[in-house]
Amino acid sequence: MLLFAFVIYYTSTLLAECYRSGDPVSGKRNYTYMDAVRASLGGAKVKLCGAIQYANLFGVAIGYTIASSISMLAIKRADCFHAKGHKNPCRSSSNPYMILFGIAEIVFSQIPDFDQIWWLSIVAAVMSFTYSTIGLALGIMQTVANGGFQGSLTGVAIGADVTSTQKIFRSLQAFGNIAFAYSYAIILIEIQDTIKAPPPSEAKVMKKATMISVATTTIFYMLCGCMGYAAFGDGAPDNLLTGFGFYEPFWLLDIANVAIVVHLVGAYQVFVQPLFAFVEKWVAATWPDSGFVSGEVKVGPFVLSVFRLTWRTAFVCFTTVVAMLLPFFGDVVGLLGAVSFWPLTVYFPIEMYVVQRGVRKGSTRWICLQMLSAACLVVSVAAAAGSIADVIDALKVYRPFSG
């Protein structure tokens, strides 16, 4: 996890340097990740970058829909366990909660631009601190109650429940999960575009913000992950707050899961707004005279774009239906993280930086950057293999809309 944090911080600083072409203060702005790739690399790499980035953002929307429904379902189950006892199965479907989350996202998706959701991002960040702190506190309490640490340095024991092959694939999938947890680089340029003009330059501000965010999230990831394993050992659930390692205090679990849902409502918008903007810009350029594209409709005190209302609503509905079809969140997250990690977090930032700063081919710096890229490619491929293996296992017992 520390290695991932270091690599992602370093490559994110390289990517931040590519927001402006040429001079870091007065050079031409690149408003999106694709614009930055177009300015530095051009050619087929622009379309490749766009395809990977926007496909990943689509996948993130599905993953967040699944995760939010799991937390909403956990609230209902926690209350059920408290009322009827821990041995009661308290079974219920997550599909109604996915629909509820989808309805909320349809409303928030009508916010026109990325820079107008700053307040939603702040709320999401506060909620993230809230549930992380609760998870950490519960982990510490459980460890104290156990009288010591559970588990071992080598992890889950190989035996009847887990074969050596499964352990290898699950370990590789974990790399994908960690990569997904640090996946903000895929929208870093779009975030940087909302920073006020220099001085200092946007790159300096973004580098400082990246350092603070990576350091903060890594501390929480390490504490929650380590204390969760210390509390439950090999029996640690996928999700400490929804896997019912803890049953009490149920009200504290409810608060944590409400915080997760609110966080995901905001995070969903942070990740899909660049995708919305890309499609709407392309449609406006393709059909500039279309009344459907430029038309507006008044809904109470609000004036909404007809096309935006139709397209964004359709997008949210589609991602919600796909989430209901694919309810295995952990496997989906690992695959998304693995597929996007190398190209978007490592390869493109390094290649653009080499062009922007004129790093000489064959120099020590160039060789070190290429070695870093190659090593991350190996990790990405291995993580994808582990995630695909787990998705295949999940599909063996899969029934559509059975969440």
**Cβ burial 98-132 (10 Å sphere, 16+ → b, else e):** bbebbebbbebbebeebeebeebbeebeebbebbb
Closest CA to 255 of 107, 108, 138: 138
Give 110-132 pLDDT, tens digit per residue. Answer: 888 777 788 888 898 899 999 99
29 bridge partner residues: 20
Q: Which CATH architecture has domain 1-397?
A: Up-down Bundle (1.20)
Return the half-sphere exposure (C-beta side, CA atoms, 13 A cut-off) of residue 387: 27
The torsion defined by the Cα of 324, 325, 329 and 331, in degrees rounded to 10, comes to 180
Question: How far is residue 269 from each of residues 43, 49, 61, 63, measured CA to CA in Å?
Answer: 30, 21, 9, 13
Q: Are 110 and 307 in contact (CB under 8 A)?
A: no
**Residue 171 CB neighbour total at 10 angstroms:** 14
Comparing 240 with 381, the larger pLDDT belongs to 381
pLDDT in tens, 234-284: 888 878 888 767 777 888 889 999 999 999 999 999 899 999 999 999 999
- Are residues 218 and 16 in contact, defined by beta-carbon separation less than 8 angstroms? no
- Cα dist from 298 to 94, 112, 295, 304, 314, whole Å: 34, 15, 10, 6, 19
pLDDT tens profile 142-194: 899 888 888 888 888 887 778 888 888 888 888 888 888 888 889 999 999 88
- For residue 326, give the nearest of 51, 69, 52 by alpha carbon: 69
| Model pLDDT, residue 327 | 63
pLDDT of residue 328: 66
pLDDT at position 196, please? 77
Average pLDDT for 23-27:
80
Q: Cα–Cα distance between 358 and 356 in angstroms, integer?
A: 6
pLDDT at 329: 62
The CA distance from 312 to 279, in Å, is: 10
Query: What is the pTM for the complete model shown?
Result: 0.88
Average pLDDT over residues 63-87: 88
Mean pLDDT of the chain: 87
Asked which of 247-251, 309-313, 383-387 is least confident by mean pLDDT, the reply is 247-251
Mean pLDDT, range 73-82, rounded to an integer: 88
Are 139 and 228 in contact, with CB atoms under 8 Å apart? Answer: yes
How many alpha carbons fall within 13 Å on the CB side of residue 336?
Answer: 25
Judge whether residue 334 has pLDDT over 70. yes
pLDDT at 399 over 80: no
pLDDT at 402: 61
What DSSP state is assigned to residue 298? E
Please report how many Cα atoms fall inside a 13 Å half-sphere around the Cα of residue 24, on the Cβ side: 18
Would you report the helix, strand and coil content of the chain in percent, each value rounded to 5? 75, 5, 25
Give the pLDDT confidence score for residue 217 in this predicted structure.
Answer: 92
% of the chain residues with pLDDT over 70: 96
- Give the range among 29-33, 46-50, 159-163 with minimum mean pLDDT: 159-163
Separation between Cα atoms, residue 205 and residue 310, nearest integer Å: 36
Query: CB neighbours of 158 closer than 8 A, spacing ≥ 6?
Result: 164, 167
CA–CA distance, 277 with 274 (Å, rounded to integer):
5
User: What residue has token string 């340095």?
Assistant: 153
User: What percentage of the chain reaches a pLDDT higher than 90?
Assistant: 44
pLDDT in tens, 196-236: 766 778 889 999 999 999 999 999 999 998 998 998 888 88
Residues 6+ apart with CB under 8 A from 156: 162, 167, 170, 234
Q: Which residue has the tokens 């493109």?
A: 348
When pLDDT is cut at 50, 70 and 90, the band that residue 290 belongs to is confident
List the one residue out of 267, 297, 1 whose CA is nearest residue 120: 267
